[in-house]
Structure 1
Amino acid sequence: MQINLGNAARDLAFLPVVEDRRARIGLAIVTFVVATSFGAHVAVPLPWTPVPMTLQPLFVILAGAVLGPRLGAA
């Protein structure tokens, strides 16, 4: 079953939430900064070591993968 949307409805459905490119990039960077700082507080205990693992490296790698090498290092 295929839904046929009019051109106006389809254009409205795919509009970005933030129009300005710089604002969108800034929002993405701030989002990953908050996620990384949140991940630093979440500790996962590992049974074979007394040092727990945090989720911080996961968010750092995700930031580099999603934002790219230049913005991921920002």
Structure 2
Amino acid sequence: MRPQKITFGEMREMGVRGVLIYCADYRCSHHVALSADRWSDEVRLSDIETKFVCQTCGRRGADVRPHFDWNRPTVPAMGYR
């Protein structure tokens, strides 16, 4: 059994509005950043981990973590001229 993680409500109280979702297969390492607005305050991050299926490798399961830099502006990628 996986340890229970914080709730989305507790996460929002810390000012965090997004989550990072990592594929459960350490060899795949696919990840995505999502807004946490779709989940209610009483749901734990660990409650939703089994519901994800990796779109890269097809494995079910994920590691869901708070995305502490969600509100930080991104730096545009450098391009070639």
Higher strand share: 2
Q: If you compute each CA radius of gyration, which structure gives the higher value, 1 or 2?
A: 1
Higher helix share: 1
TM bin (shorter chain) = under 0.3
| Higher relative contact order (CA closer than 8 Å, sequence separation 6+) | 2
